[in-house]
């Protein structure tokens, strides 16, 4: 079913946005590598500036890795991070420019120019945030619930897992099937008139 | 049609990601307020940290406003910005906290705490970037092509249009039906193994 204005059918609108919710509990059902690969193969096509694609995903599933991660989460995020079948540490790779000869081939000096750009880490963070938006949509496209979190010790996570990489932690996202009482009440959204103006 | 792994049907996958492309030319067909409202009413449901929703959209359609905007675009972005039926100046509102009593009601002191937070503008920029990801998906959900651009004089645009607001320019996005020769060759994406690791 489509409505009059959007080309996307209503079932997809509901799956991705209007009925999708941030989950706070999860069932034990595993999230497979095949599911993660399908999500990535979908959302990788979302555009980034200069095709920089700085998003990197570190999967946490084993009890050992999970315990190390939970130690760096804020108190209110520990229980759900311990219980999710998959948690993704989402990072921005400030060394994205190493890939530019392949990913942005029509500008042969892009790697060299970017290597000297002091704004590179900021550019990585910004574009990885755009890709985080795609990723949350993609997790939902797989029929799974996402639980993105901002409450954690970013430096602690970096030292624990990513000490050798030139990456910043952008978000930590729980992924799985929603469990009992998975949802809080839905918070209100700003109205069109509060957000959109024309000049 | 669904494939085995994603819940989202293939037509929607193609519309939003796998066949969608960044457009560089547009037809004259107008983009209506009803279309923008339908896009916003879809993507407003995408989650942000603390439900901050800092994304703001300034619509540019009139010849007068367009001329003022084009003056601040980089050379390579002027022609397509002049030709698009709609251009959106996407901004991050660092005064998002004024809405928190309504948008985040279960934490009554959120506005006051955020008002004193020196990281507020950075938080606005980060969450607006996530919402920019949703917005690009939403423009495609309306059957339209998006042409997000990063090449412009952000301070110039701010002074020209947003001098009285506490906002940062996050992106400028052309919107419309793709015109002749709308696409460049599609640039390669990083492979799963380059992006995803498990610990």
| Tens digits of residue pLDDT in A67-105 | 999 999 999 999 999 999 999 999 999 999 999 999 999
B60 falls within a domain: yes
- Average pLDDT of the residues in A157-181: 95
Q: Is the pLDDT of residue A47 over 60?
A: yes
pLDDT (tens digit, 9 = 90+) per residue, A18-43? 999 999 999 999 999 999 999 999 99
User: For residues A150 and B6, what is the distance between their CA atoms, to the nearest angstrom?
Assistant: 26
Chain B CB contacts of A134 below 8 Å: 17, 133, 137
- Give A149→chain B minimum CA distance, Å: 7
For residue A37, list chain B residues with Cβ-Cβ distance below 8 A: 5, 192, 196
Pick from B41, B131, B188: CB nearest A103: B188
Return the CATH number at B82.
Answer: 3.40.109.10
**Cβ-based contacts of B43 with chain A (< 8 Å):** 17
Give me the total of CB pairs closer than 8 Å, taking one residue from chain A and one from chain B: 228
Sign of the Cα torsion B149, B154, B157, B162 reads positive
Task: Check A104 against B6: CB less than 8 A apart.
Answer: no
How many Å apart are CA B87 and CA B66, to the nearest integer? 8
Nearest to A39 by CA among B78, B188, B3: B3
Collapsed DSSP state (helix, strand, coil) of residue B40: helix
Nearest residue in B to A47, CA atom: B22
- With cut-offs at 50, 70 and 90, classify the pLDDT of residue B1: very low
For residue A99, CA distances in Å to A50, A105, A107, B108 come to 11, 10, 12, 46
Residue A198 has φ and ψ, to the nearest 5°, of -120, 140
Given an 8 Å threshold on Cβ–Cβ distance, is A161 in contact with B199? yes
Three-state DSSP class for residue A124: helix
Banded model confidence at residue A183, pLDDT cuts 50, 70, 90: confident
A193 within a domain of the structure (yes/no): no
Looking at the complex, report in whole angstroms how far the Cα of residue A150 sits from the nearest Cα belonging to chain B: 7
Range of the domain at B122: 31-178
Q: How far apart are CA B42 and CA B135, in angstroms?
A: 9
Q: Do B190 and A18 touch (CB under 8 A)?
A: no
Residues sharing a CB contact under 8 Å with residue A31, sequence separation 6 or more, in sequence order: A61, A85, A86, A144, A175, A176
* Contact between chains at B187 and A42 (C-beta distance less than 8 A): no
Question: Per the domain annotation, does B48 fall within a domain?
Answer: yes
Contact by Cβ (8 Å): B158, B169: yes
Round to whole Å and give the CA distance between A94 and B174. Answer: 27
Residue B51's nearest CA partner among B96, B116, B94 is B96
- CA quadruple A36, A150, A89, A92: dihedral sign: positive
- Please, which residues have CB within 8 angstroms of residue A122's CB and are 6 or more apart in sequence? none
Res. A3: pLDDT tops 60: no
- Which two tokens mark A143? 């029929």
Give the nearest chain B residue to A184 (CA atoms). B106
Residue of B nearest to A162 (CA): B199
How far away is chain B from the Cα of A104, in angstroms, using its nearest Cα?
6
d(C-alpha A137, C-alpha A25), whole Å: 19
Reported as a pLDDT band with limits 50, 70 and 90, residue A119 is very high
Q: Which residues contact A169 (CB under 8 A, 6 or more apart)?
A: A89, A90, A91, A152, A154, A157, A158, A162
**Residue B25, min C-alpha distance to chain A (Å):** 16
Query: Would B57 be classed as within a structural domain?
Result: yes
Phi and psi dihedrals of B90, rounded to 5? -95, 125
User: How many structural domains are present in chain A?
Assistant: 1
Compute the nearest-CA separation of B143 from chain A (Å): 5
**Contact A189/B61, CB-based, under 8 Å?**
no
In a domain, B103, yes or no: yes
pLDDT at B164: 87
Regarding an ipTM greater than 0.85, the answer is yes
User: Residue A184: its pLDDT value, please?
Assistant: 82
Q: Chain B closest CA to A133's CA: distance in Å?
A: 5
- The pair of structure tokens assigned to A84 is 């999710």
All residues of chain B having their beta carbon less than 8 Å from the beta carbon of residue A98 are none
Indicate yes or no: pTM above 0.95.
yes
Flag whether B163 is in a domain: yes
The pLDDT of B93-111, averaged and rounded, is 96
Are residues B141 and A7, on separate chains, in Cβ contact within 8 Å?
yes
The answer to whether the CB atoms of B56 and A199 lie below 8 A apart is no
Nearest CA in chain A to B45: A17
CA B54 to CA A190: how far, in whole Å?
10
Enumerate the residues of chain B whose CB falls inside 8 A of the CB of residue A143. Answer: 6-7
How many other C-beta atoms can be found within 10 angstroms of the C-beta atom of residue A49? 16
B5 belongs to a structural domain: no
Please report residues of B whose CB lies closer than 8 A to that of A8: 12, 15-16, 42, 141-142
User: Is residue A24 in a domain?
Assistant: no
């Amino acid at each position: 079913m489509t409505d009059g204005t959007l080309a996307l059918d209503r079932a997809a609108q509901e799956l991705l946005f209007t009925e999708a919710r941030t989950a706070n509990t999860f069932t034990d059902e595993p999230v497979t590598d095949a599911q993660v690969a399908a999500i990535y193969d979908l959302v990788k096509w979302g555009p980034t500036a200069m095709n920089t694609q700085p998003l990197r995903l570190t999967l946490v599933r084993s009890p050992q890795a999970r315990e190390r991660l939970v130690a760096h989460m804020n108190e209110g995020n520990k229980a759900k991070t311990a219980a999710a079948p998959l948690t993704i540490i989402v990072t921005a790779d400030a060394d994205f420019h190493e890939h530019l000869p392949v990913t942005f081939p029509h500008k042969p000096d892009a790697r060299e120019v970017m290597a000297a750009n002091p704004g590179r880490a900021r550019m990585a963070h910004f574009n990885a945030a755009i890709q985080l938006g795609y990723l949350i949509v993609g997790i939902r496209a797989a029929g799974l619930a996402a639980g993105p979190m901002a409450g954690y010790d970013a430096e602690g996570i970096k030292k624990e897992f990513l000490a050798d990489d030139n990456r910043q932690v952008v978000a930590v996202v729980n992924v799985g099937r929603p469990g009992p009482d998975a949802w809080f009440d839905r918070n209100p959204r700003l109205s069109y008139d509060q957000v959109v103006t024309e000049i």
